[in-house]
C-alpha cells in the first residue's frame, strides 16, 4: 500500500492560531483589502447568484458583504473557527476546507478569501468545490502567492544558517500564478483566470511584522516546524539582516504580501468554447501581410 503523503500544514495548529487571533482582536487589514477587491470583481459580473458559499474565510467579513448584495442572496459560511455573525441573513457552520460536507450542484457562487493557501490538498479541495457548484456556477477566490513574506523568509534563513549552520521551516511556501492556473484546469473549471497583486506593507522592524502576523493568525503552522522555542538571538540577528536588506530611507522595513485572485466556471453548454483547429475563415498570413515573418519558425 502506498503511504499517504506527509501533510505540509498542521491544520489543527492553523485553527488554533485563528481562534487565538479572533479572541484577541484580529488584524484584518489584509483580509479587508482582499474582500474589497473580490466584491468589486463580483460587481463586474452582470448576473445574480441566489445561493452563495463563503469557503473558509478567516472572519465573517466577506460573508457579511455578500449578504448585503441586492437582491439578497442566501449565504452559507463554512468557517474555520466559531464566530459571532453580524447579520441574521447568514448561515454558518464550522468545517474543514479539505472535506466539504456540501450537496452537489447546490450553490451558484463560491467565494473564498485568504484561506485556501493553507490546505494540504488544494487540488482535492478545488474538485470538491466544483462539484458543490451548479453548472455555470462561479468560483472566485483570493490566496496568498509565492512572493508573500519573501523578505522575512530570506532574513530568517540568513540568520539561522549563520547561527546554527542549517535552515528549518519557518515561512510557508505558496503557489505561484502559473501553478494555480494549472490547478484550476485540472479541477475541471472552465475559463480560468488568475492574476496577482503585490501589497507592500511597511513596519517599524521585523518584530512589528511578526506581531501583525500573530494578530492575523498567520504564524508558522508548517507540520515540519521546530517544536522547541527559538532562541531570541536568532530573531535579533534576523531583524538586523531584514533592516540591512529591506529598509527604506526612513528606516522602516518592507513586507510583501502577494494576493493571487483566481476565478473559474463550472462547465456549461452556454459558455464560449475555443474554435476547432482548422476552422478559421482567414489565414494568418493574409492578416499580417507580405514580408511579415509569419512562418512559425521565423524563416
* pLDDT for the residue numbered 6: 80
Quickly count: other Cβ atoms within 10 Å of residue 117's Cβ: 21
- Contact by Cβ (8 Å): 31, 218: no
Peptide bond into 71 cis (omega under 30): yes
Query: Going by C-beta distance under 8 Å and a sequence separation of 6 or more, which residues neighbour residue 287?
Result: none
11-149+173-200+255-270 homologous superfamily? Vaccinia Virus protein VP39 (3.40.50.150)
Please report, for residues 144, 187, 229, the alpha-carbon distance to residue 232 in angstroms, rounded to integers and kept in the order given. Answer: 28, 44, 9
Whether the link from the prior residue into 169 is cis, omega within 30° of 0, is no
pLDDT in tens, the chain (299 residues): 444 568 999 999 999 999 999 888 878 999 999 999 999 999 999 899 999 999 999 999 999 999 999 889 999 999 999 877 666 556 888 999 999 988 999 999 999 999 999 999 999 999 999 999 999 999 999 999 999 999 999 999 999 999 998 999 999 989 889 899 999 999 999 999 999 999 999 999 999 999 999 999 999 999 999 888 899 999 999 999 999 999 999 999 999 999 999 999 999 877 666 555 555 555 545 544 555 444 433 43
CA distances from 121 to 90, 126, 246 (A): 27, 9, 33
With a CB cutoff of 8 Å and minimum separation 6, the contacts of 75 are: 52, 53, 54, 63, 66, 67, 89, 90, 91
- Grid coordinates given for 175: 503557489
Sorted by where each begins, the domain ranges of the chain are: 11-149+173-200+255-270
Terminal-residue alpha carbon distance, the chain: 54
Cell numbers for 17: 492560531
Contacts of 191 (CB under 8 A, 6+ apart): 264, 265, 271, 272
CB 260 within 8 A of CB 143: yes
Contacting residues for 259 by C-beta, under 8 A, at least 6 apart = 30, 33, 34, 37, 142, 143, 144, 145, 196, 197, 198, 199
> What is the predicted pLDDT for the residue at 24?
85
pTM confidence score: 0.85
Q: How far apart are CA 146 and CA 117, in angstroms?
A: 10
Residue 247 CA to residue 142 CA, distance in Å, equals: 28
The helix/strand/coil state of 92 is strand
Amino acid at each position: 500500500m502506498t503511504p499517504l503523503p506527509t501533510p505540509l500544514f498542521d491544520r489543527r495548529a492553523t485553527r488554533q492560531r485563528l481562534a487565538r487571533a479572533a479572541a484577541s482582536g484580529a488584524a484584518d487589514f489584509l483580509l479587508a483589502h482582499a474582500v474589497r477587491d473580490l466584491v468589486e470583481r463580483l460587481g463586474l459580473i452582470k448576473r445574480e447568484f441566489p445561493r452563495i458559499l463563503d469557503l473558509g474565510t478567516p472572519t465573517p467579513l466577506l460573508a457579511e458583504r455578500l449578504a448585503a448584495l441586492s437582491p439578497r442572496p442566501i449565504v452559507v459560511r463554512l468557517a474555520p473557527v466559531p464566530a459571532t455573525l453580524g447579520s441574521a441573513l447568514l448561515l454558518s457552520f464550522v468545517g474543514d476546507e479539505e472535506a466539504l460536507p456540501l450537496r452537489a450542484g447546490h450553490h451558484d457562487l463560491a467565494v473564498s478569501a485568504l484561506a485556501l493557501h493553507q490546505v494540504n490538498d488544494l487540488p482535492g479541495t478545488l474538485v470538491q468545490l466544483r462539484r458543490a457548484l451548479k453548472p455555470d456556477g462561479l468560483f472566485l477566490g483570493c490566496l496568498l502567492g509565492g512572493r508573500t513574506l519573501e523578505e522575512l523568509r530570506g532574513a530568517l534563513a540568513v540568520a539561522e544558517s549563520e547561527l546554527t549552520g542549517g535552515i528549518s521551516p519557518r515561512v510557508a511556501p505558496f503557489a505561484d500564478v502559473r501553478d494555480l492556473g494549472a490547478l484550476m484546469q485540472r479541477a475541471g473549471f472552465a475559463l480560468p483566470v488568475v492574476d496577482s497583486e503585490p501589497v507592500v506593507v511597511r513596519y517599524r522592524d521585523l518584530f512589528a511584522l511578526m506581531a501583525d502576523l500573530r494578530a492575523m493568525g498567520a504564524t508558522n503552522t508548517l507540520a515540519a516546524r521546530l517544536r522547541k522555542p527559538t532562541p531570541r538571538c536568532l530573531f535579533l540577528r534576523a531583524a538586523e539582516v531584514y533592516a540591512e536588506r529591506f529598509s527604506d530611507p526612513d528606516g522602516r522595513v518592507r513586507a510583501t504580501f502577494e494576493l493571487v485572485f483566481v476565478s473559474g466556471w463550472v462547465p456549461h453548454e452556454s459558455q464560449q468554447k475555443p474554435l476547432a483547429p482548422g476552422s478559421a475563415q482567414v489565414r494568418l498570413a493574409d492578416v499580417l501581410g507580405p514580408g511579415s515573418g509569419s512562418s512559425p519558425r521565423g524563416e
